[in-house]
Amino acid sequence: MMRFFLKGNKMKIFTDRVIRLKSRKFEDFLSELRRKNSFNQDILEICVPDGYALDSPSLKKINEERCTGCLLCVDFDDLNSIKENDVPSETHEYTEISEIAKGLFLGEYKPTFFSTKLENHTQKSETTITNPLGALYFWRLSKNPNNTYIRTSPNWELSINTTNILDEREGHLDIVVASERKKIIVMEGKTSVNSLLSSRLREQWARYGNEIISKSSKFGFDAFFTYLIGGEELPLYPISSSAPHHRLRAEFYDFISENDKKFISIEGLRALRLYQLAIDNSFCWEDHLSPLLNDKNFKGLLSNGLVYQDSDFVLKKAPWVDI
């Protein structure tokens, strides 16, 4: 459900899919999902802080200086092309979205069509930018967004008990998106690869990954846990790909190889959104991504393809690409 609100001179778009709870416990969120049509709901901004680009519900009124090209404000009948500055357009005057989408997820590295605007934007703040953007991408990519529910930073993180007996601190879940298809994706947001690798709290996977799956199963949900990484996408490409060298790549893949970790890039989510808008409006994460997240060899989603691990990490074409 889309709602428009005018604040000052700017039009902002919201989804009201956030469930308001008396507590922040993960199990209370799962319990509340059983109470159909009785939720106390809150709103989550699509144009997140520092990115208010809409002057009206029309793409013709986008503030091009502020727009980061996230594609979250557009619907299927709105978008025809994208300008050189990443701004979506209703006209056919610029690069057609279908032409961009045809070059995505092919399993071969190539520089993104987009500029560094979204990359730079997501590096500013994990709680106020990267995490809500990730939640909103999955809301948009759901089979039925009107029956998809969210808890996320900056105001609605959930808590969960740790499964590490040597670390009794309560865990905090950055992003939780629950689908009517009885699937839940939980994401640990990071502004960049560098912030992930330099964080002293980067091992959330070992601390409460099993608890997420166990708790969800008790309430009849299939749960998936992944890192969401903003900033530059280049260091996320495997060494075996044709991507240019990056100094953090080897360290990142050493980290990912432990404990069956998985990751998704913000650029990968934007690419999925563009693919959904331009190629297949029936695309949804429940049907297309959840089988991958259940695959032990699948490691990551990038705009140029999927990362798998066998004897080595490799970049492959996505199964939904029909060429």
Q: What is the pLDDT of residue 168?
A: 61
Neighbouring residues of 37: CB distance < 8 A, sequence distance ≥ 6: none
pLDDT at 202: 57
Q: Do 138 and 147 meet the contact criterion of CB atoms below 8 Å apart? A: no
Of 188, 98, 177, nearest in space to 144 by CA? 177
- Closest C-alpha among 280, 173, 287 to residue 222: 287
Q: How high is the pLDDT of residue 216?
A: 94
- The token pair at 102 is 């045809």
Of 194, 195, 226, 243, which is closest to residue 301 (Cα–Cα)? 226
Position 170 scores a pLDDT of: 73
Residues 6+ apart with CB under 8 A from 254: none
pLDDT at 63: 86
Q: Give the CB-side neighbour count of residue 179, counting CA atoms within 13 A.
A: 23
Neighbours of 64 (CB within 10 A): 11
Q: What is the pLDDT along the chain (323 residues), one digit of tens a residue?
A: 555 555 555 556 678 889 988 889 999 999 999 876 667 888 888 776 666 787 766 777 788 888 999 999 888 888 899 999 999 998 999 999 999 999 999 999 999 999 999 999 999 999 999 999 999 999 999 999 989 999 999 999 999 887 655 556 678 899 999 999 999 999 999 999 999 998 765 566 667 778 899 999 999 999 999 999 999 999 999 999 999 999 999 999 999 998 889 999 999 999 999 999 999 999 999 999 999 999 999 999 999 999 999 889 999 999 999 75
Q: Count other C-beta atoms under 10 Å from residue 103's C-beta.
A: 14
Give the Cα separation of 159 and 119 in Å (integer). Answer: 28
Q: What is the pLDDT of residue 117?
A: 95
Residue 48, both tokens: 């997140």
64 contacts: CB under 8 Å, gap ≥ 6 = 53, 83, 85, 87
pTM equals 0.93
